[in-house]
Structure 1
Amino acid sequence: MERKRLKKGERSDIRKDLRDVHYPGSAGLIRYAKMSLEQRSQALKEETPHTYALARARYVRMSPRKVRRVIDLIRGKSLEEARAILKYSPHRAAEVVAKVLESAAANGINDDRKNMLEDRMYVKAAFVDEGPALKRVLPRARGSAHMIKKRTSHITIIVGERNG
């Protein structure tokens, strides 16, 4: 089989297929996490709303980088396993992420259209976006000052239901 050489702007068929995958498999999740905010919202609108439940915590006063450490631990795990990981995680962000996870699970269970079962739920996607930063001034020697950015995060967790 002869390999076709691609020109600079072209993508292979495999890459084109991967571009359209939002959730299944690790490649799809990584692709989804790297999407811009507009692309994410478009991807969620295209998927039928009865297959997932979503919860968001916005303007959380924690650095997105520190929250991502915790989010990466639970992505793709079952609901029960994710709860256990967050319960025993030493990070401060684990408490906030646990609240968002519980909210997403409750949204899936209590919505009449979704009617999800708790024992079949899993973390379909989880990501953290950077919110606005609070800028503060720290006085330094000889009358100078340094800027401190107190960062905020927007945490989003999407739970789905596994078949079987």
Structure 2
Amino acid sequence: MGVRKRQSAELRKEAQKTQAFAKLLNIPSSPRKMRLVADMVRGQEVFRALGILKFSNKEAAARVEKLLRSAIANWEAKNERKAENGELYISTIFVDPAPMLKRLRPAPQGRGYRIRKRANHVTLFVDTIDNNAKTKA
């Protein structure tokens, strides 16, 4: 690995030690469906987002709710205190495509239609609301 690449990787690792985040890998649903749920909660205060996810009728919402609870627990572990109401918000959430499973489905006249079983990865970062004000000022 080159020197520049190694230095940037070390900087990224140091930055992640201070940030609270959670990742969910290889979820067997399409990224498009998961992005609909991610867009509902992006930038929301965490307890409000939990309410939105709890009462959403999308299947992906239950997975994102569990991921958000994990990110909150990670923040509490790093800061050694409980999260209070109105203190945390979802600073970043993004959905990336995971490797696709390719299957064949029988079709008429001896043909086979390709079925693409999509999957996704979700990454969610939480941050304190007052931390956001410091960085913009």
State the TM bucket, normalised to the shorter chain.
0.7 to 0.9
- Which amino acid is 2:40 matched to? L
Establish whether residue 45 from structure 1 lines up as the match of residue 12 from structure 2.
Answer: yes
Amino acid paired to 1:61: P
The answer as to whether partners of 1:55 and 1:101 remain within 8 angstroms in 2 is yes
Superposed CA RMSD: 2.3
Paired with 1:76 and 1:93, the residues of 2 have a C-alpha distance of: 18
Asked if residue 154 in structure 1 is aligned to residue 105 in structure 2, the reply is no
Contact 1:51 1:160 survives alignment (8 Å): no
* Mapped pair 1:96 → 2:96: no
Which residue in the other structure is 1:15 paired with?
none
| SS of residue in 2 equivalent to 1:128 | strand
CA distance in structure 1 between the aligned counterparts of 2:14 and 2:93, rounded to whole angstroms: 16
Three-state SS of the structure 2 residue aligned to 1:125 is strand
1:68 aligns with 2:35: yes
Match for 1:66: what amino acid? K
**In proportion to residue count, which structure has more helix?**
2
Between the aligned partners of 1:137 and 1:82, the Cα distance in structure 2 is: 39
| Counterpart AA for 2:38 | I
* Corresponding residue number in structure 1 for 2:89: 122
TM-score (norm 1): 0.68
Could you give the per-residue CA deviations for residues 52-105 of structure 1, whole angstroms, max 9, x where no partner exists? 311000001010000000000000000111001101111110011111111001
Runs of 4+ in structure 1 displaced over 3 angstroms? 46-51
CA distance in 1, matches of 2:14, 2:82: 16
- Whether the 8 Å CA contact 1:79–1:118 is kept in 2: the answer is no
Ranked by relative contact order (alpha carbons within 8 Å, sequence separation 6 or more), the top structure is 2
Question: How far apart are the structure 1 equivalents of 2:55 and 2:124?
Answer: 19
Give CA-to-partner distance per residue, 1:13-65, whole Å, 9 cap, x none: xxxxxxxxxxxxxxxxxxxxxxxxxxxx97x8288446531100000101000
Structure 1: state its 5+ residue gaps.
Answer: 1-40
Q: Which residue does 2:4 correspond to in 1?
A: none
Greater strand share, structure number: 2
**Of the candidates 5, 9, 21, which is equivalent to residue 54 of structure 1?**
21
8 Å Cα contact 2:72-2:83 kept in structure 1: no
